[in-house]
A and B are shown apart, each in its own frame.
Chain A
Amino acid sequence: MRGMTALDLDANATEALRPAAREALLAALDVGGNPSSVHGGGRAARRIVEQARAALAARFGVAPGDIVLTSGGTEANALALHGLAAGRRVLVGATEHPAVRSAAPGATLLPVERDGTVALGSLEALLTEGPSALVCLMAANNETGVLHPLGEVAELCRRHGALLHVDAVQSAGRIGLEALGAASIALSAHKLGGVPGAGALILAPRLHLPALIAGGGQERGRRGGTEPLPAIAAFGAAVAETYDIRRIAALRDAIEAGLRRIAPEVVIAGATAPRLPNTSLAVLPGIPAETQVIALDLAGIRVSAGSACSSGKVAASPVLEAMGFGVDAGCGLRISLPWNAPEEAPARFLHAYAEMYARLSSRRASRAT
């Protein structure tokens, strides 16, 4: 790929920065200061933190005092599990993000249906088995965009006296977020147009959680450490922005329609379930996701193969495995549109995909002879 700007279709890795967030970040850099300081500089810094907290509270319909600012989604999830899991049976969705899976190592896995939504029958059976459970489910899956039926899940939890923790990292800022009586909800700033370095855990009213990092007692003793002012300012600005669900969904649908035209064997994971408007996981049987991601990257299209390990290697998707894709679990390409995806995104993506597909098809044909 030479001489052309790359097309970013990997918003679930990190959402495109919102201009308002960028401005807020730069302004906060000029303010500086430590919110814990007694003097005027401290007050100015504190004002920025509290403005951001207020913006989050307004967006999600919760009280500012129930929001604990963290370093990001992973820490928010870890803080929730740390505080809520003790003495409880932890039930974790089979398609949860590693941030949750690794924070609850001994958890029982909740199976999902073929469409990626949690198997409500299994959930109910497990909740009936005994009291004091903690259920951890994501609002939207990071690879497929599939939305769990959280209303029904919350109702089941309520009936069985179970706590619910929701990882809303991928859905917040894109679709509506309902508190649903959840004990806690994890958010990440850079997944909704802010920058990495800030996140939040929204707690149920009056719920107190012990700190994971006690430090100097910031966040009312719930999370120590000097607040990353610029990241928090950007978080507050990003969360106030609107998201054009219809426009993004139309682009995504155009991509999926085009994929089916080009490669009839492509399977869109979770296509029949409610999904995020921006996400599509296209499984091309027999072609490793790695080959597809590299081929498209070389053509200037930035997509991913689901969750990438920090070493950058591409492995089979545990999400697709949990959805029963078997050997094709390693063949899924995640296309996730950013909020500012250009109108020509489907055409550009499909052009590159068709080129890749034609080459791979002729290679397969020549190998078969």
Chain B
Amino acid sequence: MSGGVDSSVVAALLHEQGHEVVGATLQLYDHGAAVQKKGACCAGQDIHDARNVAENLGIPHYVLDREQRFREAVIQDFADSYARGETPIPCIRCNQTVKFHDLTELAADLGCEALATGHYARRLDGPDGPELHQAVDPVRDQSYFLAQTTRAQLAKTLFPLGGYATKAEVRAEAVRLGVAVAEKPDSQDICFVPTGTYSDVVGKFRPEALEPGEIVDVAGNVLGTHRGLARYTVGQGRGLGLSRREDEAPLYVAELDAKRRRVVVAHREKLAQTRIRVGDVNWLIDPPQGAFRCEAKLRGRERPAGMTAEWDGAELVLTPDAPGIAAPGQAAVLYQDGRVVAGGAIRS
């Protein structure tokens, strides 16, 4: 229970259905330190909101201190990833570790039958066990961020909001169920950097990721100076500070070379890749033999695009029908008819 509308509605719905519901809220970081207010409580307003929702429902509620676990598994990994020249998605790492791994374990330790969350995705039970599907509402669908959930975890997980057609319907449920946070705005961006300057966080853990270096073209000609690899991502066109003549095509980040601390830039048409390597693959089906067709998302905010995939037992190689931009560190999630079949991290 994050204290937001979604997980609050989930708790209220399950409670209404007669389940014995236990509320849990993760304390992930020192809220007071994150918003840089001296003396502010380590627990943010959201924790109090979650507690109030549980109190109003009459269900037990616990605040789980996961600051250290979150720092090690998510924030450190976030900074390390940037230092490697990647563009990480901390929410995926958090879902994979602090949330679905740890909480399904805790739920079982407490004798609970399932873990329910407010994510927008659907768990459907197929002939071979639980399946992960996109939410009915394509705008809200979060399956991209959940693709690292293992089949064993999925078997113990419920996503009661995945079937709602719009967020408005969920808010209406909140009103019907008397959940006090019905009007609360959606949370934004990366939770542990509420001020929005994620580079500060990266710099604290990996100062070298903020050290300046050269901006070069593909041939190695030095075009300028960058302000630290962590401030750039593959495909980025703005903020490079390069001067160009009016008749010249703009330049984009083509590669982040962590070894030489270089930002490599190129014209847009040079960025698109015909072959994308994906590691850390979590399979939600039995891996197919040989090449197979699927749709895949290479970043959170894009529609799945058609491609051919092949699994060699260690890595997935994707061949998009139309060459696409793939930023290392982002997730590649493979779908077949709206079902997540695999998810992994883009390597190159």
Contact = CB atoms under 8 A, between A and B. Distances in A.
A291 B47 contact: no
A313 B109 contact: no
Contact of B43 (A294, A295, A298, A313): A313
A2 B20 CA distance: 10
A241 interface: no
Interface residues on A, range: 10 to 19
A1 B235 CA distance: 55
A309 B110 CA distance: 22
Interface residues on B, range: 10 to 19
Nearest to A299: B111
A295 B65 contact: no
B99 to A, nearest CB: 16
A314 interface: yes
Interface stretch (B56-64, B250-258, B260-268): B56-64
Nearest to A292: B109
B42 A311 contact: yes
Interface string B40-76: 0111000100010000000010111100000000000
B64 A313 contact: yes
A362 to B, nearest CB: 10
A127 B199 CA distance: 49
A198 to B, nearest CB: 26
A311 B43 contact: yes
A315 interface: yes
A309 B62 CA distance: 13
A9 B108 CA distance: 25
B134 interface: no
A250 to B, nearest CB: 31
B22 interface: yes
B63 A311 contact: yes
A204 B43 CA distance: 40
Contacts of A363: 108-109
A294 B62 contact: yes
B139 interface: no
Interface string A294-305: 110110000000
B7 interface: no
A295 B109 contact: yes
A121 interface: no
B157 interface: no
Interface centre among A297, A312, A315 (most CB of B within 10 A): A312
Given A290-B64, A298-B111, A315-B65, 5 more contacts: A298-B22, A298-B110, A311-B47, A312-B51, A314-B65
Interface of A: 2, 290-291, 294-295, 297-298, 309-315, 359-360, 363
